[in-house]
Amino acid sequence: MSITSPNPTGPIRHSHSRSNEHDQAAPDTSTDSGLLESTSGPVERELLDGLHRLASAERLLVAIDFDGTLAPEVDEPSRARALPEAREALLRLIALPATRVALVSGRAMESLEQVSNLPDEVLLVGSHGVEIRLDGPTQLTLDTVELEQVDALSEVLEGVADSIDNVWIESKPAGFALHTRLATEADSRLAHMVALDEAHSEVEGLTVREGKNVLEFSVRNTTKGEALLHLKEYVHATSVFYAGDDVTDEDGFAVLGPNDFGLKSGPGRTIAEHRVDGPREVASVLALLADFRGGDSSTASL
- Summarised one tens digit per residue, pLDDT across range 157-206 is 999 999 999 999 988 888 999 999 899 999 999 999 999 999 999 998 89
Q: What is the pLDDT of residues 216-236, one digit of tens each?
A: 999 988 899 999 999 999 999
% of the chain residues with pLDDT over 70: 83
* Residue 290 vs residues 56, 65, 93: alpha-carbon distances, Å: 11, 18, 5
pLDDT score for 43: 58
Query: Average pLDDT, stretch 63-72?
Result: 97
Least confident residue range of 92-106, 111-125, 135-149: 135-149
Q: Which residues contact 155 (CB under 8 A, 6 or more apart)?
A: 202
Phi-psi region of 243 (alpha: psi -120 to 50; beta: other; left: phi over 0): beta
* 109 pLDDT tier (thresholds 50, 70, 90): very high
Average pLDDT of the residues in 102-119 = 94
Residues 6+ positions from 56 with CB-CB distance below 8 Å: none
Q: What is the dihedral of CA 129, 74, 87, 276, to 10 degrees?
A: -80
> Which residue type is seen at 153?
L
pLDDT tens digits for range 253-263? 999 999 999 99
Tell me which amino acid residue 7 is: N
Single pTM value for the model: 0.74
The SS3 of residue 72 is coil
